[in-house]
Amino acid sequence: MEAESHRAGPAFTHPLPLTALLYGMLLLCAVITLLPYAWMLSSSFKPNVEIFSATVQLIPAQPILGNYTEAIARQPVGRAIVNSLVVAGVETIAVVLTSVFTAYPFARLRFPGRDVLFLLILGTMMIPSQATMIPSFILVKWLGWVDTYQGLIVPRMMAPLGIFLMRQFLLTLPRELEEAARIDGCGRLQTLRLVLLPLMGPAVATLAIFTFTASWNEFFWPLIVVQSNEMRTIQLLIAAMKQAEVADWGVIMAVVTLSVVPTVAIYVMLQRYFVKGIAMSGLKG
């Protein structure tokens, strides 16, 4: 983003050999980052003869689609992707709505207990979900939600980080806007919906993308809640395939490729929001 213009670099103009070295190192980092993806893609298009060949071949000599068709025929790939889409989609909508709604009083209203409650909600982030997995499972079991969408989604419908991000963003918006709306007779909810929400586009997009990606990639909670093959998310499916079919790497890599495509595509298309998200959440807001 601002890298090119923020300042004159660390103030050194590099002599030519150094510049060449820097480009070389960048290229090396890029190759190391991309090689596993290349290996994944290449294996997913290779027939078994080439997968179990004695020599390295990054580009398949005779690329085939057989691994993909076989994966779809033999594994419930479609169902798993639908499950992941439902869970990540509903969770994202819920987190965005609850975060905006809960952040509003914290950012804009004065009331007793505001700061304590806010810190308490943020404080829940310090409790690692793995440490409390047993009671969480018991709770879901008691609610009758084991192996259901509710069980996967409901305990993830609010996020402290989302509330925090939305509050920080609301604090940057000028108060005059709402005062004008209130004088015109808008209620608080109306003001939030009609005046503030339209201005929150970038922040909402950032939160939505982060939530969707995190939910799509989530493994631990589905592992505990899901019991049947039908309810498996795509992450659970590929993990199970790896445990079961140790030898069939072509098919496994085909399904792994399918599981990776959505988040990578979202990232490549909407990466400016990721950069913003790191700036918002990574360092003190």
Partner 1 sequence: MLRPRWWNEETRFAWLAILPAVAFFALFVGFPAGYSFWLSFHEWNMMSATPTWIGLENYAALAGDREFLRSLAQTALFTVGITACIVVLSLGMALLLDQKLRFIKLYRTVFYLPAVTSLVAIGIVWVWMFDPQYGLINQALKGLGVEGPLWLADTRLALVALIITAAWRNVGYFATVFLAGLQGIDSMYYEAARIDGAGPWASFWQITVPLLKSTIIFVVVLSVILSFQVFALIYVMTSGGPAGATSVLVFYLYQQAFTYFRMGYASAIGFVLFAIIFVLTVLQFKAFGKPVEV
Long-range Cβ pairs for the range 233-238 (8 Å, 24+): 233/80, 233/83, 233/84, 233/87, 233/152, 234/77, 234/80, 234/81, 234/83, 234/84, 234/258, 234/259, 235/84, 235/259, 236/80, 237/75, 237/76, 237/77, 237/80
15, 17, 112, 185: residue in contact with partner 1 (rule CB under 8 A) = 112
Residues 201-230 that bind partner 1 (CB under 8 A): 213, 216-217, 219-220, 223-224
CB of 149 to partner 1, least distance (A): 16
Give the interface size with partner 1 as a residue count (CB under 8 A).
Answer: 104
Segment contacting partner 1 by CB under 8 A, of 12-20, 64-72, 176-184, 195-203: 12-20
Greatest extent of the chain over all pairs of C-alpha atoms, in Å: 77
> Other C-beta atoms within 10 Å of 212: how many?
21
Q: Is residue 180 part of the contact set for partner 1 (CB under 8 A)?
A: no
Q: How far is the CB of 113 from partner 1 (least distance, A)?
A: 8
Residues 146-175 that bind partner 1 (CB under 8 A): 155, 157-158, 160, 163-164
253 binds partner 1 (CB under 8 A): yes
Site string for partner 1, 31-70 (x = CB under 8 A): -xxxxxx-xx--x-------xxxxxx-x------------
Q: Does 81 bind partner 1 (CB under 8 A)?
A: no
Per CB under 8 A, 121 contacts partner 1: yes
Task: Round to whole Å and give the CA distance between 99 and 157.
Answer: 9
Does residue 278 interact with partner 1 by CB under 8 A?
A: yes
**Interaction of residue 183 with partner 1, rule CB under 8 A:** no
Six-digit token string for 255: 């399904």
H or E stretch including 131? none
**3 is a site residue for partner 1 (CB under 8 A):** yes
Distance CA 221, CA 27 (A): 37
Query: Is 9 a residue that touches partner 1 (CB under 8 A)?
Result: yes
